Structure 1
Amino acid sequence: MGATIKWDEVEQGQELPAAEYQVHRVNLVMYAGASGDFNPIHWNERLAKSVGLPDVIAHGMYTMAQGGRYVTDWAGDPAAVVDYGVRFSSMVVVPDDDNGATISISGTIEEKLPDKRVIVVLTAKSGDARVLSKARAVVQLA
């Protein structure tokens, strides 16, 4: 990942290299500051558990951003992503330990479009849970 990908170098059905993104509570606090979403379920374990959550959970938009990061890392150019959408299907639970949580993301070229664009379908999991569904990006390639 990292080099600019060319349209004629990819094939429909091609699997992209998987990547893992570690999530620690400090990442959630930083994201809260950047996004303005200070909901305590994203940083306060006592409160998160008091409302029935298993522990602190990552912001949905933080999780979605990791999918976007995956695609831009693969494409080699953040501007290459011309459309991106997901549905949130499960939570990323972030325990207060050295390991935190891991978001594992992989992708497949679903379709090559004639204008040097491709549709990339993503699979994002944390543990055994699929955390994003219907995750797909339209990417403009060189």
Structure 2
Amino acid sequence: MTDFVEGAELPSLRVHLNRTDLIRYAAASGDFNPIHWNDRVADSVALPGVVAHGMLTMALGGRLITDWLGDPGAVLGYQVRFTRPVPVPDLVSGVDPDADTAGAEIDLTGKLVSVTEAEDGTRVGKVDITVKFDGRTVLGRSNATVRLP
């Protein structure tokens, strides 16, 4: 059982991203920018290779929150600042050695930093979210305002 008290740590989440995930996200979002699927284009704009969609990375932060709360409708607000790209190597499961374990590992953690009571008596919390790739933060000022159970 999760305690929804100030200072509570959210259960951490680790997500493995591969190129297939980027294709699926592009199809769902309609974002077919070639930096998310073409190495030559990514290289031409000085990226470290094909990178995950920023909004996909942001969505993973939202998943951390909704997994914790159990109710996507409890998210009242969510904001991030994109600070660093997440490169996703071109590895294919069944073709490249270690393809199932290599790739972009995204580590997400969160902390309930404040709890207040709204005028209607509901409890509202502010959650700071940390999203890291390769030990480095990829989203800055990432936080959500949520309705607590």
Q: Is the 8 A contact 2:4 2:148 kept in 1?
A: no
Indicate the residue corresponding to 2:113 in structure 1. Answer: 110
Distance 2:31 2:51 in 1: 13
The residue aligned with 1:50 is: 44
Q: Which is worse superposed, 42-51 or 127-136?
A: 42-51
Cα shift at 1:140: 0.8
Correspondence 1:139 to 2:142: no
CA distance in 2 between partners of 1:103 and 1:33 (Å) = 21
* More deviation, 92-101/54-63: 92-101
CA-CA distance at 1:12 after TM superposition: 1.1
Aligned equivalents of 1:139, 1:20: Cα separation in 2: 22
1:50 deviation in Å?
2.4
Measure, in 1, the Cα distance between the counterparts of 2:90 and 2:116: 44
Q: Indicate the residue corresponding to 1:34 in structure 2.
A: 28
Query: 1:63-102 alignment to 2 at 5 Å?
Result: 63-97=57-91, 98=99, 99-102=102-105
- Is the aligned partner of 1:61 residue 2:55? yes
Larger deviation: 63-72 or 9-18? 9-18
**Aligned-partner Cα distance in 2 for 1:10–1:80:** 13
How far is the alpha carbon of 1:10 from its aligned partner? 2.0
Identity score, percent: 47
Q: Residue type matched to 2:123 in 1? A: K
- Aligned-partner SS, 1:27: helix
Residue 136 of structure 2 corresponds to: 129
**Rg: which structure is higher?**
2
| Matched residue SS, 1:17 | coil
Normalised to the residue count of structure 1, the TM-score between the two structures is: 0.90
For residues 61 and 125 of structure 1, the distance between their equivalents in structure 2, rounded to whole angstroms, comes to 15
Tell me, which stretches of 5 or more residues in structure 2 are unaligned? 92-98
Structure 1 unaligned segments of length 5 or more: list them. Answer: none
User: Once the two structures are superposed, what CA deviation does each residue of 1:38-84 show, in whole Å capped at 9, x if it has no partner?
Assistant: 11010111221122111100111111000001100111111111111
Q: Quick one: distance in 2 between partners of 1:141 and 1:128?
A: 30
Flag as ranges the 4+ runs of structure 1 deviating above 4 A: none
